[in-house]
Amino acid sequence: LRDAALLAEDGVITWIGPSAEAPELVAAPASASDHRVGDPGGPSRQEAAEIAHSMDDTAHPHPHRIEVVDARGRAVIPGFVDSHTHLVFGGDRADEFAARMAGRAYEAGGIRSTVAATRAASDDELRARLAGFVRELHRHGTTTFEVKTGYGLTVADEARLARLAREVTDEVTFLGAHVVPAEFREPDGPGADAYVDLVVGEMLVACAPHARWVDAFCERGAFDAAQSRRVLEAGRAAGLGVRVHGNQLGEGPGVRLAVELDAASVDHCTYLSDADVAALAGSGTVATLLPGVEFSTRQPYPDARRLIDAGVTVALASDCNPGSSFTSSMPFCIAVAVRDMGMTPAEAVWAATAGGAAALRRTDVGALRPGAFADLTMLDATSHVHLAYRPGVPLIAETWKDGVPVG
């Protein structure tokens, strides 16, 4: 929509349409605002006087504030929905990144160094770190984000990470099956299957109350199809929705397993056979692509065009984590997806908003429509195309979550 207006009330969108047709806001008593949304002569941001939402003060004892924002020709899009992050961790792996850029390959095993740093960090350290990431997400226009566990890998540490993640989001994923921790690895430890026993037993019991989802890293160097299936089925039996890390480092069983279990999403999808693409196309499973990973591991980008042309629902997410993709910027992901993955700007913005919502099986975020949360991002640009057209430029002018400015 051009020259559009949008009304939100109590954090929910109530009307959207051409600005000329916007309902008049009720003028407040005394000093209140009578500016309409989109009023070209209005102030860029007017804090109207506190007014009663209704004339009946007994029914509405808390006065509402009417706030009018004139976007002045700038584009407003839904806040980004980042459906895949790993934001509770200690330390970082800048040295590993530098070594990779000097030619070393990415391996799933690097996860274990973050596990050690995370176990050593206090709750308050992890909480402060997480709060910093949330500010970073908001500054980049993200209003809904998922957070995975997976750097604890003991019952107590995984439960702690799930609890800390739950302090900042409803979308918590239990990823005890991230990698087999060092103390379980053969030849000295009891082995991968014994670790899976722990994940589907005591660890799941401790984490499920904080989580909405279960995930497994089904990949060479992590968990095979049988082990991943055990974890995902146990999570599902405990009431969690299913998501899968699959087909990141090579073709493998992840996508087929995800589709068979009706996972909400299978993430990475970098190496896909024709059969994988066909399976996804006939399923309710979203393919979530994570361009930051291929950027930061120097692997070939996934082929979004092939998936979209086959009728697959595609989402974009940051996968923000200290190993394979240390970016929290959805605009960056959009730019790469457009430049290198065959997506149009409109497809990429859709994938980063409505697509992310689909990957979380939600319709209350990721779109500007009446009834959805007023999670909005205003760009310092006249259209969404600029997100890809002006890569690396901070284009997020302002972001609202539930109608409240967050960055």
Binding residues for Zn(2+): 84, 86, 245, 319
146 belongs to the binding site for Fe ion (CB under 5 A):
no
Near Fe ion in 306-365, by CB under 5 A:
319
Question: Which runs of E-coded beta strand occur in 291-342?
Answer: 314-316
Q: Which residues are annotated as a binding site for 4-imidazolone-5-propanoate?
A: 93, 151, 178, 248, 324
Bridge-based pairing of strands 147-148 and 172-177 is parallel
Near ligand NIG in 279-338, by CB under 6 A:
293, 319, 321-324
Per-residue binding string, ligand NIG, 62-101, x by CB under 6 A, is ------------------------x---------------
Angle at 110 between CA 241 and CA 126, to 5 degrees: 65
Nearer to ligand NIG, 263 or 396 (CB): 263
Q: Which of ligand NIG, Fe ion, none lies near 118, with the C-beta cut-off 5 to 8 A by kind?
A: none
Q: Which residues are annotated as a binding site for N-formimidoyl-L-glutamate?
A: 151, 321, 323
The CA distance from 136 to 400, in Å, is 14
Q: Which of ligand NIG, Fe ion, none lies near 253, with the C-beta cut-off 5 to 8 A by kind?
A: none
First and final C-alpha spacing in the chain: 24
Q: Which residues are annotated as a binding site?
A: 84, 86, 93, 151, 178, 245, 248, 319, 321, 323-324
Angle at 321 between CA 317 and CA 326, to 5 degrees: 80
Contact 159, 210 (CB under 8 A): yes
Instruction: Compute the least distance from the CB of residue 101 to ligand NIG, in Å.
Output: 15
**What is the token pair recorded at 378?**
């205003």
Nearer to Fe ion, 77 or 358 (CB): 358
3-state SS class at 310:
coil
Locate all alpha helices (DSSP H) within 188-224, ordered by sequence.
192-198, 204-207
- SS3 for 14-69 is EEEEEHHHCCCCCCCCCCCCCCCCCCCCCCCEEEEEEECCCCCCCCCCCCEEEEEE
Instruction: Compute the least distance from the CB of residue 26 to Fe ion, in Å.
Output: 47
Q: Which of ligand NIG, Fe ion, none lies near 324, with the C-beta cut-off 5 to 8 A by kind?
A: ligand NIG
Q: Quick count: other Cβ atoms within 10 Å of Cβ 24?
A: 7
Q: Which residues are annotated as a binding site for Fe(3+)?
A: 84, 86, 245, 319
Contact 153, 178 (CB under 8 A): yes
219 belongs to the binding site for Fe ion (CB under 5 A):
no
Q: Which of ligand NIG, Fe ion, none lies near 288, with the C-beta cut-off 5 to 8 A by kind?
A: none
How many positions of this chain bind ligand NIG (CB under 6 A)? 13
Contact 338, 350 (CB under 8 A): no
Report the residue from 217, 223, 271, 400 that binds ligand NIG according to the rule CB under 6 A. 217
Using CB under 5 A, list all residues that contact Fe ion.
319
Using CB under 6 A, list all residues that contact ligand NIG.
86, 110-111, 114, 217, 245, 248, 293, 319, 321-324
